[in-house]
Structure 1
C-alpha cells in the first residue's frame, strides 16, 4: 500500500490558490467589473440572526466586545496626537466620528463614552434598531450615538468632508465592492481627518485560524461569518487609500487569543491588522 506525498504547493493547487510572500495567497485578484453597491445581502441577513445575543459579552460575538480593549485606544490615540487642549476624561470631545458597519453599536457606544459625537451606519435594520434601543438604556453615555440604516455610498451624498474620523472595523471583509467602499469612506472625511480599519489579512494563516479553527473547530465565531477570498491585504488597502488622496500612517498586526478572549498588537500582520491613514489637505 503506497501513499502519495502531499506538499505545500500541492495543497495550494488543490484549493486553486496562488502563493505569494508572507503566507499570502488568493484565488483571484479583484475584478474590474465591481458591483455597483457595497452590500452583500446574504451577509446582511446572516447578522439578523445575531440580534438577540449581540450584547452578550460572553456570547457568539464576544470577540467583538473584547476587541474594544485595543481598537478604542487605537482610534483615540490616532486622533488626539494632533489635538490641542485634550480633555483627559473625554479625549474625543467635539470630534465627529462615523462608525461604518456599526452593527448593534458595540464600538459606537465605547467611542461615545470618551466624548465623540458618533454616527453609526449599517445596512441591517434589526441591528440598527438594536443599537438605538441599547444606547437609550445606557446611562453611561454622555452623547448618544446617532444611528441610521444606510450604506456608505448613500451616506456620502449628504456628508462629504463632514467627519473628523471614520472607523471601519471588521467590515471591509464583508462588502462586495471594497474599492467603492474605500472611496466613499474617504469622501465623508474632512481633509486632514483620519480613517481607521481593522480587518483580517488574506493569508493562509488567517484561513487556518480565523475560519477553520475559530469558526468550524472551536466555534468561537459564528460559522459562515467570513469568506476568505474577501479578505483584503494591507498592501491592497493601502493602494486603495492612496488612490483616494490618503497617506497611510500606521499598520499594526493584531493577534486574538481564542481561549483567553484577548487581543494584542504585534509585529506580524499575517492574521489580522489595524491600519490608520490621513486624508491629505
Structure 2
C-alpha cells in the first residue's frame, strides 16, 4: 500500500480518530511527543501530558533494561532452560478463552487479519515447495501453529490441505478450538490441538530419537504471539529444534516504535477500546531488526519483512510500505542447530545474512 493510499484511508476514518492517526502516521519518523503535542481531544485529553509521563518513565527504566539485557546475553546457554510463558499473559487470555469465535468481539481484528496472513503463508510455502495440489495447495505440509488460541488461523490452514497442530498453554482456549473444529467435517484428521508450551513440544520431539525427523514440521506460524512471550530467545531456539531444515517460520507482530505505542496502546486500548485494556505491553514489542537478530543467531535466514496496517473504520487489514506499526516476517531454517556447533558460528552467520 503506497503512502498516498495509506493517508487516504486514514482520512476516511471518523473525525476524532482520523485527526489523531493522520498526525501520527504522517510524522512516524519523529518522536511521539513532537507528533502529538498539537493533538488534543475535545474532552481536554492532553497528548503532551501522555508523552511527558511516558518519557520520564522510559528514562527511569533505561538503566535497568540495559542491565537486564546484558545479564541475558551473558547467561545465554546452548540448552532450553527458560519458559516462553508469562503467567500474567496466561491469566489475561484465560479470561478471554470463550470469546475466540465472536467475530465482532475482542478478537475481531484477528479474524480480519486472516485476509492477509493466510495468503502470506500459503504463497511463501508454495514458493518453497513447488508441488501443487489443486484445491488443497498445502497438502502434504505439516504446520505448527504456536499460540493458536481458539484456532482462528489453524482452521483455514487445515482447509488448504495442511496437517496442522495448534498448541497453546491455555487449556480453555484449546477446548474451544477443538469444539469449533468438530463442527467442520472437512477438517477431519488434518487439524489437531494440544494444550502445551512450545518448549514442552520441543522437548518431546528431541526425546523421540527413533522418529525424530517424522516429528519435525515444514512450517511454524506464530501470529500475534511473540509480543506476549516471556523469553524470545527460548522461542527462537525451540522453533529451530522442531522445524525441518529448509522449513519456514512465519511471524506477525507489532514493531517497537513511538507510533506503535500511540496507536496500539493509547488509541486502540484506551481511546477506541478496539482491544481490551492491558492486552499489550510496549516493552515486549520487538523491532524487525531485533527479531531478525534472535532468529539468525538460531539458524534462520529472514527472507522478507512486510508492513501491515489495520483500519478500524473498515475493519480491514492491508499491506503497507512502512513497518512502523505491524509487520509480517518470513524466515527459513538454514542450519540444523547452530548452538550445538559453535565452531561453525561464523559460517552460519555469513550464510544467514541477507
Say whether the fold is shared (TM-score over 0.5).
yes
- The residue aligned with 1:69 is 115
Deviation, structure 1 residue 234: 0.4
2:225 matched to 1:171? yes
Change (3 A) 1:42 1:215: same
- In structure 1, C-alpha distance between the alignment counterparts of 2:254 and 2:131, rounded to whole Å: 35
- The residue aligned with 1:16 is 58
- The residue aligned with 1:193 is 247
Deviation, structure 1 residue 260: 1.2
Q: Which has the higher strand share?
A: 1
- Where 1:194 maps in the other structure, the secondary structure is strand
Instruction: Select 2:104's aligned residue among 55, 58, 71.
Output: 58
Deviation, structure 1 residue 83: 2.0
Deviation, structure 1 residue 227: 0.3
Whether the aligned pair in 2 keeps the contact of 1:156 and 1:188 (CA below 8 Å) is yes
Once the two structures are superposed, the pairs formed by residues 266-281 of structure 1 within 5 Å of their partners are 266-281=320-335
Deviation, structure 1 residue 274: 0.5
Change (3 A) 1:135 1:17: farther
User: Radius of gyration: which is bigger?
Assistant: 2
Deviation, structure 1 residue 49: 1.4
- In structure 2, C-alpha distance between the alignment counterparts of 1:168 and 1:83, rounded to whole Å: 20
- The residue aligned with 2:264 is 210
- In structure 1, C-alpha distance between the alignment counterparts of 2:96 and 2:232, rounded to whole Å: 24
- Where 1:28 maps in the other structure, the secondary structure is helix
Deviation, structure 1 residue 16: 1.8
Change (3 A) 1:60 1:27: farther
Deviates more, 1:159-168 or 1:244-253: 159-168
- In structure 2, C-alpha distance between the alignment counterparts of 1:26 and 1:118, rounded to whole Å: 43
Q: Tell me the matched-pair count.
A: 270
- Where 1:253 maps in the other structure, the secondary structure is strand
2:65 matched to 1:28? yes
Instruction: Select 1:146's aligned residue among 184, 187, 192.
Output: 192
- In structure 2, C-alpha distance between the alignment counterparts of 1:154 and 1:246, rounded to whole Å: 21
- In structure 2, C-alpha distance between the alignment counterparts of 1:258 and 1:143, rounded to whole Å: 36
Gapped regions of structure 2 (runs ≥ 5): 1-32, 35-47, 76-80, 207-212, 336-354
- Where 1:190 maps in the other structure, the secondary structure is strand
Q: Which runs of 4+ in 1 moved over 4 A?
A: 7-10
- In structure 2, C-alpha distance between the alignment counterparts of 1:36 and 1:97, rounded to whole Å: 24
Instruction: Select 2:291's aligned residue among 232, 237, 256.
Output: 237
TM-score, normalised to structure 1's length? Answer: 0.90
- Where 2:101 maps in the other structure, the secondary structure is coil
- The residue aligned with 2:20 is none
Deviation, structure 1 residue 235: 0.5
Instruction: Select 1:126's aligned residue among 136, 152, 172.
Output: 172
Q: Deviations over 1:175-234 (max 9, x none)?
A: 110111111112111000000100000111111111111111111111111000001110
Instruction: Select 1:80's aligned residue among 99, 108, 126.
Output: 126
Q: Which has the higher helix share?
A: 2
Gapped regions of structure 1 (runs ≥ 5): 1-6, 19-24
Identify the structure with bigger relative contact order (alpha carbons < 8 Å, sequence gap 6+): 1
Whether the aligned pair in 2 keeps the contact of 1:26 and 1:202 (CA below 8 Å) is no
- The residue aligned with 2:315 is 261
- Where 1:219 maps in the other structure, the secondary structure is coil
- Where 1:90 maps in the other structure, the secondary structure is coil
Whether the aligned pair in 2 keeps the contact of 1:27 and 1:229 (CA below 8 Å) is no
- Where 1:92 maps in the other structure, the secondary structure is coil
- In structure 2, C-alpha distance between the alignment counterparts of 1:151 and 1:99, rounded to whole Å: 11
